[in-house]
Structure 1
Amino acid sequence: MRVSADGSHLVTGAGLPFFYLADTAWELLHRCDEAESRMYLKDRAAKGINVIQTVILAELEGLTVPSANGHLPLRNLDPARPNEEYFQHVDAVVRLADSLGLYLGLLPTWGDKFNKKWGVGPEVFTPENARTFGRFLGERYRNNNVIWILGGDRIPEEPEDFAIVRAMAAGLRAAVDRRQLITYHPQGGYKSSDYFPNDDWLDFHMFQSGHGGSGNKLDYKFPPEVLAEAPGKPVINGEPCYEDHPINWRPVNGWFTDFDTRRAAYWSVLAGTAGHTFGNHSIWQMWQPGRAPISSARTDWRTALRYPGVRQMGYLRRLMEGLPFWELSPDADLFTAIPNSSGRETLVVRTQDTGLVIAYTPYGDRLEIRRDRLPGKVICSWFDPRSGNSIPFKAAQTEDMLLFDPPFEPAPGNDWVLVVRAEDR
């Protein structure tokens, strides 16, 4: 895997554009045995996911409570002394992901192990053992389908935090060279470019729009900011709102639905990201009855596998891979008076010659464009992000305008993707 020559997207070793589509399973390596891991990975691969984001030194007492196989990851809480028995299970999951054509977005550690701030900890890293641990991981998994993700829901605050992150990256690089990509997953409301805009070890940037509210503007505001701060490196939303997560962490506010996760995804991707990360609140923590729920998790993770959001992410990937997504650029002024507030913001992208135009309307609002803004005759379709189906249609016309009216009346969740292409394209 590498970054494209123009810095806009990721590319496989075979030179093919790679649309990053991740599912979030932070506790997979800690809380699931091999049979459960196999069931989970096969389910996600079948639904179109191609990256699984998970953590080696997990958040939820990952250093002090044994894994599902009965092992702790470190001896005496020392990153320079990894426990071989624990890592044999990690090996098995990595091999299984490889066999399914999945990449593991591997976090060496959750952020509380170097900057506790909140959570369980304990802080166990120094720059010296972080480099050692990074090199150990790189040497062990350098020949597997792995993308390295540092950070773990934390921002570096003290000089030592920066030194630990950079030392771990240096250890990884010493082992993998440029064979594998490295990025950074910050806490909610932040971007990796806030802290590492020019670091050579970081191949692409991540931001976290987070779980603070429905219709989070950070989903579409952060991508152009990152691309301006750190040109030449792609960007991914590494943690948007999770399906079945309480809005702003409080059940009284309601729960994020598959519509919320769809809107976050299309907003992020059409704002300029090179892919997207999905998450379900019960699955990231592998919650089941008998385990303490984090932030009011309420659904057995095996049941949550059947929730609709992840399959709809697969439709997004299929749509984008059927298009030259790396050639699309945002153009908020292409359509006339598109909605731009209150959760119904419509995002528009196009190729340089406007031979292909994509627009996402979260509420199914009617869209209008001046006829002279499009080249020649066009073919139009509505892509349904709930079902993955496309509906060809002929746009209504006035003397100067083309009108695009989605099915049904405008309402939250009646979201549609407009695809307009030149007839000869």
Structure 2
Amino acid sequence: MFKRFSICYILFMFCITGTSAQEDRWTGNATNLSKGNLRVNSSGRYLEYSDGTPFLYMGDTAWELISRLNDKETELYLENRREKGFTVIQTVILDELDDMDVSSNGEPKLSDGNIDKPAPGYFTHVDKVISLAAAKGLYIALLPTWGDKVDKQWGKGPEIFTPENAYRYGKWLGERYMNAPNLIWIIGGDRSGDGKNFAIWNALATGIKSVDKNHLMTYHPHGEHSSSFWFHNASWLDFNMCQSGHAQQDFAIYQRLLLPDLKKEPHKPCMDGEPRYENIPINFKKENGRFGDDDIRHTLYQSMFSGACGYTYGCNDIWQMFDTGREPKCDADTPWYQSMDKQGAWDLIHFRRLWEKFDFTQGKKQQTIFGNIPLENKNYPVAFGNKDYLLVYFPLGGERTIYLPSMKASKRSLKWMNPRNGRITFHQNTTADTILVSSPTKGKGNDWVLIIE
């Protein structure tokens, strides 16, 4: 009898906590491009299609995609990301790691290294990448250049931009891609927007927007900074992007970047466009260990439940398209094509399923449910919802008293969602306003989402 009970208990716990051998896969195109161009919704908090349907920016970081992958490799990568539920791919035209005369199709990026002479062969390749993504319903969030071409510091360089030629290049890009159905513009590229950089970035953005009125635009800053530091009031900046970066390990970084952005006037949507990469050394030092799939989920759920409009995943081996024969950056150790199925990448689809079940555009942060008890940044719970639903993220699981706000129904159903496999299990029904909840498991790697309806 005891043996039979033990086996049943083990099977039950596996169903709650285990990782499925058959991962959840997205079927069909990543998004429906026929819904129209993207825009900021009326609240100034979220993104939507022109038909009013909410849009989730669920990005992947592929900075070196255009420069380093050939057509067959690009197809392999894009299909993998479509299958995992990504909606956006972030990449760069003039990349950081390779010389101007080096690219996957053997063409130079610029003729004679002149920004006023974009090389036709290379930009035909750029066109094809955008088209391949469109066929899968994937948006390309496109950086015209990486920051080293404006402000070298690191990367191949050289510095080739002035405000004048940046405007001309931007206008040329705007004319070329204004009718692409799947484009989002990202100015910047891991650099500051102050000093001499300000005029160049502003000219590049203004040049694009002088002809392209169809696409949203944001700015990618350097680590632990936000686009809002320099460009929040710029007419061309449609939504803010911060880079929480690869050193911080708790919620404090969002208290410094994301939460202040969400309070700025006028309201603009906000998101983390470069959080901790999976498999990158913590603070770029191998002796610190590497960020893992739980770090991905922490930044994903903590930022989205705080009110972000989207999120970008990153893998250390994929952003640089690392392969044998290429110099590893940031201690990359696995070829990109062997890194596409890391657990953190699989886990994003479970959030997307949750986002599609509940109307996030009508929700807001609900931190009052935790009462007046100070919250520890390393295990910072975040609550989000409205009178119809509450979603509560516990980074390390555990036990906590929560004080439920007024909801439409007096009887509430509580369920646990495992963000590692997407499984949802019933917990209890209650009419109480104060409840003590305890997650099925706790500790590092045992994060949970409590769903209250």
| TM-score interval (norm. to shorter) | over 0.9
Say if 1:395 and 1:404, in contact at 8 Å, map to a contact too.
no
Contact in 2 for aligned 1:111/1:154 (Cα 8 Å) = yes
What residue number does 1:329 align with?
Answer: 364
* 1:70 partner amino acid: G
**Cα deviation per residue 1:118-147 (whole Å; 9 max; x = unaligned)?**
222110001111111111111111121100
Distance apart, 1:62 and its partner CA: 4.3
Question: What CA deviation, in whole Å up to 9, does each residue of 1:199-247 have, x standing for no partner?
Answer: 0111000000000132252135422201223432101101000000000
- Counterpart AA for 1:265: L
C-alpha distance in 1 between matches for 2:265 and 2:241: 11
- Confirm or deny: 8 A CA contact 2:360 2:385 kept in the other structure: no
Instruction: State the alpha-carbon separation in 2 of the partners of residues 307 and 126 from structure 1.
Output: 41
- Which of residues 204, 217, 232 is equivalent to 2:252? 217
Corresponding residue SS for 1:419: strand
Contact 1:330 1:349 in 2 (8 A): yes
Superposition map of 1:47-62 within 5 A: 47-62=84-99
Partner of residue 395 from structure 2, selected from 362, 365, 381: 362
Report the Cα offset of residue 13 of structure 1.
Answer: 2.8
Residue 336 of structure 1 deviates from its aligned partner by 3.9
Inter-partner Cα distance in structure 2 for 1:286 and 1:216: 29
Q: 1:68 — aligned with what?
A: 104
Letter in 2 for 1:107: L
Aligned length: 414
State the secondary structure of the residue aligned to 1:405.
strand
- Conservation of the 8 A alpha-carbon contact between 1:236 and 1:275: yes
In 2 relative to 1, CA 370–186 (structure 1 residues): closer, same or farther, beyond 3 Å? closer
Partner of 2:116: 80
1:164 pairs with 2:197: no
Whole-angstrom distance in 1 between the partners of 2:100 and 2:295: 34
**TM-score of the aligned structures, taking structure 1 as reference length:** 0.94
Distance 2:169 2:256 in 1: 35
Superposed, which structure 2 residues align to 1:177-256 within 5 Å?
177=213, 179-215=214-250, 217-219=252-254, 221-256=256-291
Q: CA deviation at 1:355?
A: 2.5
1:297–1:216 distance in 2 versus 1, CA, 3 Å: farther
Matches within 5 A, 1:3-152: 3-64=40-101, 66-144=102-180, 145-152=182-189
Partner of 1:416: 448
| CA RMSD after TM alignment | 1.7
Deviation of the 1:302 alpha carbon = 0.5
Structure 2 residue matching 1:195: 3-state secondary structure:
helix
Among 417, 420, 429, the residue aligned to 1:383? 417
Aligned equivalents of 1:318, 1:108: Cα separation in 2: 32
Separation of aligned partners in 1, 2:265 and 2:247 = 26
On the 8 A contact 2:251/2:302 being kept in 1, the answer is no
Matches of 1:372 and 1:59 in 2, distance apart? 49
| Letter of the 1:126 counterpart | T
Tell me the equivalent position of 1:404: 437
Contact kept in structure 2, 1:336 and 1:367, CA below 8 Å? no
- Whether the 8 Å contact between 1:115 and 1:156 is mirrored in structure 2 is no
* CA distance in 1 between partners of 2:148 and 2:265 (Å): 26
Report the equivalent of 2:339. Answer: 304
Change (3 A) 1:62 1:326: farther
Give me the whole-angstrom Cα distance separating, in 1, the residues matched to 2:51 and 2:405.
Answer: 40
Q: d(CA) in 1 for partners of 2:357 and 2:404?
A: 26
The answer for unaligned runs of 5 or more in structure 2 is 1-37
- Tell me if structure 2 keeps the 8 A contact 1:245–1:255: yes
**Separation (CA, whole Å) in 2 of partners of 1:343 and 1:27:** 33
Shift of the 6–373 alpha-carbon distance from structure 1 to 2, 3 Å rule, reads closer
Aligned equivalent of 2:30: none
Q: State the Cα deviation string for residues 374-407 of structure 1 (Å, max 9, x = none).
A: 551111111111001111220578x763222211
Aligned residue in 2 for 1:290: 325
Partner SS for 1:150: strand
Change (3 A) 1:292 1:338: farther
Are 1:382 and 1:390, in contact at CA under 8 Å, matched by a contact in 2?
Answer: yes
Deviation of the 1:75 alpha carbon: 1.3
Structure 1 stretches of 5 or more lacking a match? none
Deviations 1:288-308 (A, max 9, x none): 111100010001111101111
- Cα pair 2:411 2:430 within 8 Å, conserved: no
| AA of the residue aligned to 1:243 | E
Q: How far is the alpha carbon of 1:368 from its aligned partner?
A: 2.1
Alignment pair present for 1:153 and 2:190:
yes
Return 366-375 or 116-125, whichever deviates more: 366-375
Listed one character per residue, the Cα deviations across residues 319-358 of structure 1 (whole Å, up to 9, x for unaligned) are: 112111112211222134667215111011221xx33111
